[in-house]
A and B are shown apart, each in its own frame.
Chain A
């Protein structure tokens, strides 16, 4: 029976040990203070138990120094935890620049995963060990949450917007992927696996994957939906040139500026009139409902790839690492 009693999750990512160190510190603190309080309660209660019914102990006035002491010292302890946890959190949120991009769409009740090279999977995410992976995620319906306990990472997946999470697996293996935000009937069935593989194995797995790369699928859509007519990149076009726009700051017609990240690109496709680029008319049709979340991710992958291409027509699928 005891061998079936799991007490601790595997440490399978680079951040797991850092989270656990803070956890153990907190655990130590909890055990220390719980025992201290319990011990004092028991000792006082027994030592000063009522021995006769006519006892009327003398009152004890508070001692300001003592009370300030047990106000200030716990506060200082919590500030140490606060700073420590903020440092861990910074590690959890900031993905390394060369992270491998993977695209995830959650929907009731499954995970759709697209890799840049074209491999697609459901409820499984294959990743290489020793390489940071950054997931760009959205939902087609309600809020889900991407949770891999053995990696100590979790991020809500929202409809209508992108969220990201990153991890670097350290050990090959199969790790539970759970939906952690209640999402309806089969919430507890919205589970899968993150499969961490040795890099060579991973390359072999990728090569076995069928289908178009994300960039070329995006290019096809770009032409098919007619995006190319206005966003050809030639001067005098009705839409802005998209080559190299990703990651740049864009001047808006409203006078504001916005960073052209995945979220802005997504919004500019589904709801283009929300934030129009300066110098252009709000004439682009709304693509909400026309393009699925997975297609949006393909389009964005294509637009991002335009950065390194001379012109849209010349865009070629790029090896994963060079596309940023």
Chain B
């Protein structure tokens, strides 16, 4: 066990702006992503804050209708395309995937750096579009509103998302090749950590789905700029065709956000109950099943769009089917705790919070898959609540849990444990206070994207905004204490949790080439029973 911090690691191997901006080290690129998506999260969060403040009262008081429409649009665009989709894969995946499989780097380090620059270019376009007037189409860009009626910066924003898509494709491609070709000796497919399986499945979606979004965006731009008329009925086009194309990517995109989160949770549950994940094969297989089935359910966004009722029935059936692999994962995680050795460190609190919120998010998805009920609740706050339970309660809780768990590895410093536990609890409580009232609000009929609303909806909106202020504070805490720990945190050992996995066998932070000696894998993942007494005691 290497207890010393090595003299040379990836952070101190060289210094200066050039050494970062021209780095080919996947770990540094992960940190570059961390910096920029943290900024995007703050921007998207400010938009959300303004939206919630406006909704405190039924009338229009804080912002104009046009500005309100821009706020929720840009909140969605920033959070989905520039935070959630890159969050776990581009930060934690980039940093950990090569280390977890015992590789020195990703298969294509230059391509990896390129993907970050492409991301930056896309973000720059989108931020330019925001600063020069914003966009008001909703993050969904529904035609013909986006192609004929909106007077805002649709094309510049869409171009930003188009460019950003290529960064996703490059990352996905890199991960797929890396998992196939770069595994250390002995690292068979069924010894891969579930985090890697989840990222492999996510990468399939990124590579297969994102091009469809890119094509769709090009068609929107052509329609808007040159009146090609693909989606404009005035030219014989079909506005609903856009919805098919958009959701063909954007539904799988939900799985781009949640699959890596599930991968993180598997690692956390394994480590903090010190046990092999129950039903490893079922969890690995369910990730692939979700990735594939996820491509066949897009029509459940369109039950009231005039889509054929037979198509709706098939999409409804498939949507129920895709719920099963997710349910299986929840059961398996729960079963892993049975006869385990459960520790309540902060990352575990995030993981337990994830399971609770994801369960509610998943089960309320069944309401939306049921066509008869979906007709009533679609396009209302019920849907808003549902997908925030998945994306915020699920994906962001997992992202933060993972960030805490691997923080000692990434930074070489320990975060303050007490603060982290407090933040996890505040986030869990604040999240539920914010979004639970929105389920009720949706069922009693408040449509989403409403700037002003009838008075009977006010009480629930006030509750939601009050919760959001707690949630917002919850997000500030990790931002502050993690940055604080960079300077003042105690130095981390190689394996502060007593965790199993190649990333814990190298020093914290890892050397530039990840390992001092090329690793050889002899055991399946999560073989916690094989850890030596010294290894597990490190965590105390």
Which of A1-9, A200-208, A233-241, A311-319 lies at the interface?
Answer: A1-9
Q: A143-B142, A156-B304, A188-B65 are in contact. Are A37 and B452 (CB under 8 A)?
A: no
Shortest distance from the beta carbon of B87 to any chain A beta carbon, whole Å: 25
8 A Cβ contacts from B151-209 to A = none
Name the residue among B337, B380, B537 with the largest chain A CB count within 10 angstroms.
B337
User: Per-residue 0/1 for B436-478: is the Cβ within 8 Å of any A Cβ (1 yes, 0 no)?
Assistant: 0000100111011111111011111000000000000000000
Complex Cα gap A93–B337 (Å): 47
| Interface contacts beyond A34-B359, A158-B240: sample of 11 additional A-B pairs, CB < 8 Å, sorted by A | A6-B440, A6-B459, A22-B370, A30-B366, A62-B279, A74-B324, A108-B149, A150-B445, A154-B304, A160-B239, A176-B445
Q: Is the CB of A82 within 8 A of B278?
A: no
Which segment, of A178-186, A211-219, A295-303, faces chain B?
A178-186
Q: Which of B344, B367, B445, B449 contacts A182 (CB 8 A)?
A: B449
- Give the distance to chain A from B334, nearest Cβ to Cβ, in Å: 5
Chain A residues positioned under 8 Å from B280 (CB to CB): 62
Task: Report yes or no: A8 in contact with B443, Cβ–Cβ below 8 A.
Answer: yes
Instruction: Let me know if A152 and B375 touch, CB within 8 A.
Output: yes
Contact B339 A48, beta carbon cutoff 8 Å: yes
Cα distance, A145 to B378, chains bound together (Å)? 11
Residues on A with C-beta less than 8 A from B273 are 48, 57
Contact check, A48 vs B342: say whether CB atoms are below 8 A apart: yes
Asked if A54 is at the interface of the complex by the 8 Å CB criterion, the answer is yes
In the complex, chain B residues whose CB is within 8 Å of the CB of A34: 356, 359-360, 363
A263 to chain B, nearest CB (A): 10
Q: Which residues of B contact A156 (CB under 8 A)?
A: 304-306
Contact A62 B331 (CB under 8 A): no
Let me know if B355 and A180 touch, CB within 8 A.
no
B419 within 8 A of A: no
In the bound complex, CA of A160 to CA of B451 (Å): 28
| Chain B positions near chain A (C-beta within 8 angstroms) | 65-66, 69, 136, 138, 142, 144-145, 148-150, 233-234, 236, 239-240, 273-276, 278-282, 304-306, 309, 312-313, 316-317, 320-321, 323-324, 327-328, 330-332, 334-335, 337-344, 352, 355-356, 359-360, 363-364, 366-367, 369-376, 378-380, 440, 443-445, 447-454, 456-460, 498, 527-529, 531, 533, 536-537, 539-540
* CB <8 Å contact, A7 and B356: no
Contact A49–B443 (Cβ < 8 Å):
no
For the complex formed, measure the closest distance between the CB of A318 and the CB atoms of chain B, giving whole angstroms: 29
CA–CA, A53 and B332, complex, Å: 24
Contacts of B144 in A (CB 8 A): 141-143, 159
Query: CA of A255 to CA of B312 in the docked complex: distance in angstroms?
Result: 29
| A residues in contact with B240, CB < 8 Å | 158
Q: List A contacts of B332 (CB < 8 A).
A: 67
Partner of A74, one of B66, B327, B374: B327
A59-72 interface mask toward B, CB cutoff 8 Å, 1 = contact, 0 = none? 11010001100110
A294 to B307, CA, bound (A): 24
The answer to whether A70 and B372 touch (CB under 8 A), given A44-B342, A182-B449, A188-B450, is no
A-B contact pairs, 8 of them (CB 8 A): A23-B376, A30-B367, A44-B342, A57-B274, A75-B324, A78-B320, A89-B309, A158-B306
Judge if A122 is at the interface, Cβ distance under 8 Å: no
A283 within 8 Å of B by Cβ? no
Check A56/B341 contact, CB under 8 A, given A75-B324, A181-B142: yes
